[in-house]
Amino acid sequence: MQRRRPVMLVILDGWGFREETADNAVRQARTPSFDRLWRSGPHGFLRTSAKDVGLPDGQMGNSEVGHLNIGAGRVVMQDLPRIDAAIASGEIKRAPALIELIKKLKDSGGTCHLLGLVSPGGVHSHQDHATALARILTDAGVPAENRLFVTLDPRTRQLALPGGETVLVTDTVGFVRKLPHELVEAFRSTLDSVRLADLVVHVVDGTAANAEAQMAAVREVLGEIGAADVPELTVVNKADQAPDEAKALAHGIEGSVLISARTGEGVEELLRVLADRLRGSDRVVQLLVPWSRGDVLAAVHREGEVISQSDGEEGATLQVVLDDVGRARFAQYMTAPCT
């Protein structure tokens, strides 16, 4: 009688397989025990993303998803696609808890606060679910309070450009796709600075599978808040994580800049392009400032970019780059038309 031998089934959580060594900690590590077991014993692969584990196409799995599928011994539909399906079919509108909530809100005149993670990540939540619930509430006649992003004030900092100019850079919040029209107003107070900007720097995730859709969502909201005509510079980020995808995306967007915020790749080029674009939005004028107006001469140097200055008997003649505000302020000293 053949003696039975013990068998151990080892499932490696978070241990992916890829032949390339770049950005691959597993392949770069010294793993003598694993290498010996891999050579001498039977082994196989598990597909751990998308529909193979009950997730949407392109969605990566995680430990919770893996444990649930392995424990059940079958593909278990996860919460993310189940909620997606319920939204698409309208089933979510018929959920007893949601119907009861809407009734109580209407009867009491109370306020519904939607709290949760708002991002396209899909691991623990998805922004589309929050916006779908907001639509259901507003369609049912529940008043919408414009409080979205109320705590996210934009931050403004000074930035020195390669030519020595100093500009103000305002970092605004991110964008959410498919917002109900009533809630777009919530962006206005947060994004007022965008409408007043000389240039919008639109940062795009170069690794995103739906980057074009995300860009379209941003531009749609910019249009709704009255900022569609503000010049735009597209910056494709994460060139270090997905160089081929990021390069292809940047190549398809005229005038875009490819960078990696993590490694610093392309940042110098971005600053150069920023300076060129901002200078292009201004015009060169010639001013004659009398010597008796030293205060004006100082203001011109402070607020404009002086290209040249020549001194004469009547005063200083300057070639200077000025924006619309500067040209209006110093119009009485202008001796040559804008170029």
Q: Which residues of 109-144 are buried (b: 16+ CB within 10 A; e: fewer)?
A: eeeeeeeeebebebeebbbbbbbbbbbbbeeeebeb
User: With contact defined as beta carbons under 8 Å apart, do 289 and 333 qualify?
Assistant: yes
Catalytic residues, which ones? 63
Burial label for 201, CB within 10 Å (0-12, 13-18, 19+), is: middle
Cα–Cα–Cα angle for 47, 49, 53, rounded to 5 degrees: 80
